[in-house]
Amino acid sequence: MFLAPTRTTSLRRCSLLAAGLFCLGAWQPVLGVPVDSLYIDGRDEKVIEPKINADFPDPALIQGDDGLWYSFATNSNGNNIQVAKASQISGSWELLDNDALPQVGWATGSNTWAPDVRKLDNGSFIMYYSGEVRDGGGRHCIGVGISDVITGPYRPTREPWVCPFAEGGAIDAAGFYDEPTKKRYVLYKVDGNNVGNGGDCNNGVPPLVDTPIMLQEVEADGISKVGDPVQILGRTDADGPLVEAPNLVRTGEGLYILFFSSFCFNSDRYNVNYATSKSLKGPYTRASRMLLQTGDFNLTAPGGATSVDGGGQMVFHGNCPETSPQRCMYQTLYSVTGRDVIIS
């Protein structure tokens, strides 16, 4: 049974909205259409083209006070932290000649990864990033920078914010504001594969090391920790060497969706996956299938997804079609039916 035209027509209308806003109608289930059909629809025929056709890995996403959308990315093109902007997420993006983190403080500055930017209650902006530790054997730890301007420059704190050195360090921090409780949190990955035993992403040779996703409550300043972190996801055999790149959203229906990636970033098996929960701290139930993987929509190694707050639209990276293994930024709409996330 093929009823997709109704859904497709609705989503085309959504794509015309200004400022990158998603259509609320895209959240509604299509009556009579099995979720399996919605999941499969278009994956072989539709092509998702890069929004930034340059090396721009691990893209973050935030809307500025000026109404523009900003994305921040892992070091490349001569900058520690890259910045791009657009009037709408689905529109044309401009890669800025601007280093959002020109001074890296305690870090080496050689490998500065996976930034995430959030606005604080006082109007300033906080950036979480993964900085390489000096004399740390390649370990990364989570750093924090503050700026009064969304594009920076961000001023790093004197010391790393989180640094479980013996466990391999920490990477891929992402802020989250829980609207019902008015509390702030930060997610991150304990980088266990950094102290693995070799093989795929240094964690393909038994015994494999865990790479847990942690959730840490913080005060309104986005820095001061409240209590101890809790683990909300761990690596399984189905994930290969790791899970990483956490990003958390809460839908209007109260569903928490934890997006993450598994397998090694330089492998075609890298992906965007997700798990859901009705409670912030879990337990999280993994989806029965990956959200995005190589071959879907002509993508190769999609990963590192960041959703808009509330859900409905995301950016992510994948191998650039012309300059692989560089990783370009892509964008897509998505909808939620029950606990199933469907690429629109």
For 270-282, the pLDDT digits (tens) are: 999 999 999 999 9
The residue from 41, 58, 172, 217 that is catalytic is 58
- Does residue 112 or residue 43 have the better pLDDT? 112
pLDDT at 10: 33
Task: Judge contact between 116 and 306, C-beta under 8 A.
Answer: yes
Task: Judge contact between 83 and 92, C-beta under 8 A.
Answer: no
For 131-176, the pLDDT digits (tens) are: 999 999 999 999 999 999 999 999 999 999 999 999 999 999 999 9
For 198-208, the pLDDT digits (tens) are: 999 999 999 99
Q: Is 121 a catalytic residue?
A: no
φ/ψ (deg, to 5) at 285: -100, 120
Q: How far is CA 106 from CA 109, 140, 169, 221, in A?
A: 9, 11, 14, 21
Mean pLDDT is lowest, of 42-51, 94-103, 150-159, 192-201, for: 42-51
- Residue-averaged pLDDT of the chain: 91
Mean pLDDT calculated for residue range 310-327: 97
Q: Is 219 a catalytic residue?
A: no
Domains of the chain by residue range: 50-335
- The alpha carbon dihedral of 78, 82, 83, 84 has a sign of positive
pLDDT at 41: 76
**pTM passes above 0.85:** yes
Cα 48 from Cα 207, distance rounded (Å): 38
Mean pLDDT calculated for residue range 101-121: 98
Confidence of residue 37 (pLDDT cuts 50, 70, 90): low
Mean pLDDT is lowest, of 13-27, 75-89, 170-184, 296-310, for: 13-27
Cβ-based neighbour number of residue 237 at 10 Å = 6
Cα angle, residue 278 at apex, residues 118 and 247 outer, rounded to 5°: 30
pLDDT at 2: 31
Fold held by 50-335: Tachylectin-2; Chain A (2.115.10)
The residue from 41, 55, 244, 296 that is catalytic is 244
- Does residue 13 or residue 229 have the better pLDDT? 229
The secondary structure of 140-204, three-state, reads: EEEEEEEECCCCCCCEECCCCCECCHHHCEEEEEEEEEECCCCEEEEEEEECHHHHCCECHHHEC
Of 241, 256, 240, the closest CA to residue 187 belongs to 256
